[in-house]
Amino acid sequence: MTPVAPASLSPRRAVPASIERPEYVDRPAPARYTGAEVKDAETIERMRVAGRLAAQAREEVGRHVVPGVTTDELDRIGHEFLCDHGAYPSTLGYRGFPKSLCSSVNEVVCHGIPDSRVVEDGDIVNIDITAYLHGVHGDTNATFLAGDVDEESRLLVERTREALERGIKAVRPGRRINIIGRVIESYAARFGYGVVREFTGHGIGTSFHSGLIVPHYDDPAHDTLIEPGMTFTIEPMLNLGTHEWTMWDDGWTVVTQDLRRSAQFEHTLLVTATGAEVLTNP
């Protein structure tokens, strides 16, 4: 298959003035988060609403992942869905990102910028979309199959979804955050998949990225205690080949070093007394 290459970008999409913007929009970087990782009941309830809307947007865009569509058209669908429901697309203007979702095709690991590239039969396409609503973020992604996808790629996608589910099941108060990566890495190793290390899950709430890091491999240095009321994402990126990657000149698009395919799934989670509640189900 032909490697994914940069294509042309459409103009920035407008957001109605009535929709609340995150503080970081069009600034070089977001303000540093200084709050707690454990959220209060009122913040959690707002996050449930934002998370559900993000999941609905993810599924709406996913329905349109078919051969012949451009990734820019997928961005338009996600942008309009969020705006129509009163939410701001969190990626738009985040550290200069120019679009309302990330579309990562085939060997693109993450942060692909929607453009004029046409989705081809057999592609796998990750849609990563975040809703900012009532002052909080809900962040989610999924990898969708376009047309007739080969079995190796299809299994990679299925197993990456399973890796996320196993990571979620590992969440328990009293455990350390690195249990999540240990479970994901050991599962991926069964199939010889590379587990991307430098891009991680993260704390989330009023801040898009709070500073809490959730690795998808076993890193003993990340030993934060898991507590009820914490909210964070788990979003493993599994590759058919090496875990190593390179970045395009756009400063965003990450591709596997060997140009073999990569898949990813993500949920925003709330730690409960007994495990985790997924906040990004539709």
* pLDDT per residue as tens digits for the range 233-274: 999 999 999 999 999 999 999 999 999 999 999 999 999 999
Residue at 266: amino acid letter: E
With tokens 């009535």, the residue in question is: 18
Cα 254 from Cα 157, distance rounded (Å)? 18
Report the DSSP beta bridge partners of residue 141: 128, 266
With tokens 């409960």, the residue in question is: 272
Residue at 140: amino acid letter: T
Residues in the chain: 282
Instruction: Give, in order, the Cα–Cα distances in Å from 7 to each of 112, 118, 130.
Output: 11, 9, 23
Question: Which CB contacts under 8 angstroms, 24+ apart, belong to 89-93?
Answer: 89/15, 89/129, 89/130, 89/131, 89/132, 90/22, 90/130, 90/131, 90/132, 90/137, 90/139, 90/208, 91/128, 91/129, 91/130, 92/12, 92/13, 92/15, 92/25, 93/21, 93/24, 93/25, 93/26
* pLDDT per residue as tens digits for the range 187-240: 999 999 999 999 999 999 999 999 999 999 999 999 999 999 999 999 999 999
Element (H, E) at 28: none
* pLDDT per residue as tens digits for the range 89-137: 999 999 999 999 999 999 999 999 999 999 999 999 999 999 999 999 9
pLDDT at 1 over 90: no
Cβ atoms within 10 A of the Cβ of 194, count? Answer: 23
Which pTM does this prediction carry?
0.97
The token pair that represents 174 in the structure block: 């009293």
| Interhelix angle 71-84/41-62, nearest 10 degrees | 140
* pLDDT per residue as tens digits for the range 36-88: 999 999 999 999 999 999 999 999 999 999 999 999 999 999 999 999 999 99
Strand order in the sheet with 262-264: 194-195, 237-239, 262-264
Instruction: Give, in order, the Cα–Cα distances in Å from 280 to each of 55, 262, 265.
Output: 5, 22, 11
